[in-house]
């Protein structure tokens, strides 16, 4: 059975810590691994992407592999070919597949019906590759993960859920501040509150994401109204730990969920965080194909 990364729950703490150690090694020596030599990695995008596409495409090349970018609208999937049949064909030609789509069920079916590793490049439910890069950024900044606190302020969405899941695995306390109707469901280990000030008290990182995720455009007006008070500015950062950093998965909307002062200011690690996508994902790709001799 190949390894997969659909939600992040596949990783034990040892797996996660090993992966982040490896990501730091790869960041220091980006061309030091040819783990994907003679391999093709399919990257299927049903939604737009800047960082995920750039970091995966560049990362696969750095590992000696070939990234095959597929827009789902150009595949027979868009004409009704089943996910099951698509999984079978992908498995005959490539060594791993990443997917950005809406329903998590698409990834689950690909993993069930194919024979190659499947990884989640963002679904409505999860964004585990983002959380890996975020934990790498925390590890780099503070030299440790256990005992840190991260406060996520905003919509209880895919990014919040992945931070809560992988934060718990890493030993990072994750607090999510969201308004009623936009809060995450309970996730083991995560603290849920309606109050941004409560969430950021003692936090080492304060995290923002967009108020309107891809697929939520129809409710943009009501989201902006409800989420208005859930923004990161200097005053909110001042309530966190003295050495607290600001994080954002990007793309950002300066003036909405984060002020321009924070986005481009001294206390952010947002642009390093975006770079860390590549390093974390390269370590992930190595982990996914590590047992490749087992037949796929
Ligand atoms: N953070 C992130 O996944 O960015 P993209 O949507 O640009 O890939
Ligand atoms: N929550 C956002 C993340 C974008 C990287 C979305 O799903 O659109």
- The total number of structural domains in the chain stands at 2
CA distance 129 to 179: 26
pLDDT digits (tens, 9 = 90+) for 14-42: 999 999 999 999 999 999 999 999 999 99
CA distance 99 to 118: 8
- The answer to whether residue 296 scores a pLDDT higher than 60 is no
Same domain, 172 and 198: yes
Single pTM value for the model = 0.98
Burial 262-296, CB ≥16 within 10 A → b, else e: bbeeebbbbeebbebbbbbbbbbbbbbbeebeeeb
- The answer to whether residue 5 scores a pLDDT higher than 70 is yes
Residue 7 falls inside a structural domain: no
Same domain, 112 and 194: no
- The answer to whether residue 133 scores a pLDDT higher than 70 is yes
Q: What is the pLDDT of residue 234?
A: 98
Q: What SS3 string covers 71-106?
A: EHHHCHHHHCCCHHHHHHHHHHHCCEEEEECCCHHH
pLDDT digits (tens, 9 = 90+) for 137-185: 999 999 999 999 999 999 999 999 999 999 999 999 999 999 999 999 9
Same domain, 201 and 281: no
CA distance 241 to 205: 8
* Ligand 1, atom nearest to 214 Cα: 6
- The answer to whether residue 10 scores a pLDDT higher than 90 is yes
CA distance 296 to 41: 13
- Tell me what percent of the residues of the chain surpass a pLDDT of 70: 99
Give the structural domain span for 91: 13-127+275-289
- The answer to whether residue 275 scores a pLDDT higher than 90 is yes
Same domain, 146 and 260: yes
Same domain, 54 and 147: no
Measured by CA distance, the residue closest to atom 4 of ligand 1 is 51
Measured by CA distance, the residue closest to atom 3 of ligand 2 is 213
CA distance 61 to 67: 7
Same domain, 184 and 201: yes
Residue in the structure block whose two tokens are 């030091």: 32
Same domain, 93 and 169: no
Ligand 1 center from residue 295 Cα (angstroms) = 32
Same domain, 115 and 167: no
* Ligand 1, atom nearest to 47 Cα: 6
Ligand 1 center from residue 129 Cα (angstroms) = 10
Same domain, 236 and 248: yes
* Ligand 1, atom nearest to 249 Cα: 1
Residue 296 falls inside a structural domain: no
CATH number at residue 179: 3.40.50.1370
Residue 2 falls inside a structural domain: no
Q: Ligand 1, from 45, 51, 56, 162: best to mutate by most atoms within 8 Å of Cβ? A: 51
Q: What is the pLDDT of residue 77?
A: 95
Ligand 2 shell residues, CB under 6 Å = 122, 157-159, 209-210, 213-214, 249
CA distance 268 to 258: 11
Same domain, 105 and 154: no
- The answer to whether residue 295 scores a pLDDT higher than 60 is no
Confidence of residue 69 (pLDDT cuts 50, 70, 90): very high
| 230-239: average pLDDT | 98
Confidence of residue 273 (pLDDT cuts 50, 70, 90): very high
Same domain, 262 and 280: no
- The answer to whether residue 293 scores a pLDDT higher than 60 is no
CA distance 83 to 253: 34
Q: What is the pLDDT of residue 223?
A: 98
| 109-138: average pLDDT | 98
Contact 51 CB / ligand 1 (< 6 Å): yes
Same domain, 89 and 152: no
Ligand nearest to the CA of 129: 1
Ligand 1 center from residue 70 Cα (angstroms) = 16
Q: Look at residue 281 and give its three-state secondary structure.
A: helix
- DSSP states of 134-190 as a string? HHHHHHHHHS--TT-EEEEES--SHHHHHHHHHHHHHT-EEEEE--TTSPPPP-TT-
CA distance 184 to 178: 8
Q: What is the pLDDT of residue 242?
A: 97
Ligand 2 center from residue 92 Cα (angstroms) = 31
Residue 8 falls inside a structural domain: no
Q: What is the pLDDT of residue 291?
A: 78
Residue 3 falls inside a structural domain: no
CA distance 241 to 131: 21
Confidence of residue 57 (pLDDT cuts 50, 70, 90): very high
> What Cα–Cα distance (Å) separates residue 226 from each residue in 155, 172, 181, 199, 283?
9, 28, 9, 17, 38
């Amino acid at each position: 059975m190949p390894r997969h990364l659909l939600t992040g729950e596949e990783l034990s703490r040892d797996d996660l810590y090993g992966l982040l150690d490896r990501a730091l090694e790869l960041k220091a020596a980006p061309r030091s691994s040819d783990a994907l030599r003679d391999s093709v990695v399919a990257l299927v995008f049903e939604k737009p992407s800047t960082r995920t596409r750039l970091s995966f495409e560049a990362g696969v090349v750095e590992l000696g592999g070939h990234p095959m970018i597929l827009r789902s609208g150009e595949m027979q999937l868009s004409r009704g070919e089943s996910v099951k049949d698509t999984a079978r064909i992908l498995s005959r030609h490539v060594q791993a597949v990443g997917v950005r789509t809406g329903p998590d069920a698409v990834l689950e079916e690909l993993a069930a019906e194919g024979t190659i590793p499947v990884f989640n490049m963002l679904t409505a439910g999860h964004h585990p590759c983002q959380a890996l890069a975020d934990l790498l950024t925390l590890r780099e900044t503070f030299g440790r993960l256990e005992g840190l606190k991260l406060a996520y302020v905003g919509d209880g969405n895919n990014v919040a859920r992945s931070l809560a899941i992988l934060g718990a695995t890493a030993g990072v306390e994750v607090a999510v501040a969201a308004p009623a109707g936009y809060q995450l469901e309970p996730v083991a280990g995560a603290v849920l509150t309606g109050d941004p000030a409560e969430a950021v008290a003692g936090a080492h990182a304060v995290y923002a994401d967009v108020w309107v995720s891809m697929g939520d455009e129809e409710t943009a007006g009501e989201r902006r109204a409800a989420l208005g008070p859930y923004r990161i500015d200097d005053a909110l950062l001042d309530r966190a730990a003295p050495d607290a950093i600001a994080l954002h998965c990007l793309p950002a909307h300066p003036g909405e969920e984060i002020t321009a002062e924070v986005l481009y200011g001294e206390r952010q690690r947002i642009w390093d965080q975006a770079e860390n996508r590549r390093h974390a994902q390269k370590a992930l790709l190595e982990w996914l194909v590590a047992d490749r001799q087992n037949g796929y």
